[in-house]
């Protein structure tokens, strides 16, 4: 039985917010948001089971699960479909693609979790969740939010890139630039002093410098 979300938001979740706690049924048994404390988590919603775009996304996430695990990052999905629909869909994916969805998919028939996370609007005309992605750090803080419309699929590679970039930035190794990939150069944090501005070899050298 799903517990009520412990904190409702008067506005959508934002970067820097603590995630609302909940307990729900999933394809891997009862699961709670607090179970992921101490690890990174990608928590994402999909409009419905047994739909073509969602199926392509789940196949891609499942195939990339070991790459997420290598980053110390778990995966968890949500839709308003029932637990039994999730089981049947996971079976269909396995039988057709030879891929096992080994991360939990939680049910949200009352929409309470989806609405608390902004996955389902309070005034939505149907129960389908948008394609929301919340990247949550080990302290259960929202670090990134990516939302796609229901019509198009997400990029799993981009989600992996965001997790890796956040971890690099948190490690103080530098700032990942546009399109950054692991192993690529990072930008150094600018030194906000007049001396560093005047001593730079060129007008942009004080703020636009790769890490050594």
What CA–CA distance (Å, rounded) separates 197 from 190?
Answer: 9
Residue in 13, 42, 18, 15 with CA at minimum distance from that of residue 105: 42
Show the 3-state SS of 17-60.
Answer: CECCCCEECEECECEEHHHHCCCEEEEEECCCCCCHHHHHHHHH
3-state secondary structure of 96: helix
* Active-site residue flag, 54: yes
pLDDT of residue 2: 38
Which of 10, 54, 73, 211 is flagged as catalytic?
Answer: 54
pLDDT of residue 1: 36
pLDDT of residue 160: 98
What CA–CA distance (Å, rounded) separates 106 from 43?
Answer: 10
The tens digit of pLDDT for each residue in 96-128 reads 999 999 999 999 988 889 888 988 766 655 556
Percent of residues, the chain, with pLDDT higher than 90: 68
Residue with tokens 């029932």: 82
The tens digit of pLDDT for each residue in 34-68 reads 999 999 999 999 999 999 999 999 999 999 999 99
What CA–CA distance (Å, rounded) separates 137 from 160?
Answer: 14
Provide the residue ranges of all domains of the chain, joining segments of one domain with +: 23-170, 174-212
Q: What angle do CA 60, 61, 64 make, to 5 degrees?
A: 85
Q: How far is CA 91 from the centre of its chain?
A: 24
What CA–CA distance (Å, rounded) separates 165 from 23?
Answer: 29
3-state secondary structure of 187: strand
- For 47-82, letters b (16+ CB in 10 Å) and e give bbbeeebbbebbbbbbeebeebeebebbbbbbbbbe
- Give domain 23-170's CATH superfamily: Glutaredoxin (3.40.30.10)
Contact of 19 with 6, CB cutoff 8 Å: no
pLDDT of residue 3: 44
Q: For 3-12, 178-187, 202-211, which range has the lowest pLDDT when averaged over its residues?
A: 3-12
């Amino acid at each position: 039985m799903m517990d009520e979300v412990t904190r409702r938001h008067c506005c959508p979740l934002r970067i820097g917010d603590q995630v609302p706690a909940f307990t729900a049924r999933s394809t891997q048994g009862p699961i709670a948001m607090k179970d992921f404390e101490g690890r990174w988590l990608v928590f994402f919603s999909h409009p419905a089971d047994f739909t073509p775009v969602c199926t392509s996304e789940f196949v891609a996430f499942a195939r990339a699960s070991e790459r997420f695990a290598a980053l110390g990052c778990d995966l968890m999905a949500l839709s308003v479909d029932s637990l039994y629909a999730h089981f049947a869909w996971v079976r269909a994916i396995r039988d057709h693609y030879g891929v096992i969805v080994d991360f939990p998919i939680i049910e949200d028939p009352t929409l309470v979790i989806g609405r608390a996370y902004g996955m389902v609007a309070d005034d939505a005309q149907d129960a389908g969740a948008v394609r929301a992605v919340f990247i949550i750090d080990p302290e259960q803080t929202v670090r990134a939010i990516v939302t796609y419309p229901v019509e198009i699929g997400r990029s799993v590679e981009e989600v992996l890139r965001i997790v890796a970039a956040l971890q690099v930035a948190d490690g103080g190794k530098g700032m990942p630039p546009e399109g950054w990939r692991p192993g690529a150069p990072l930008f150094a944090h600018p030194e906000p002093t007049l001396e560093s501005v005047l001593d730079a070899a060129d007008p942009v050298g004080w703020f636009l410098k790769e890490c050594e």
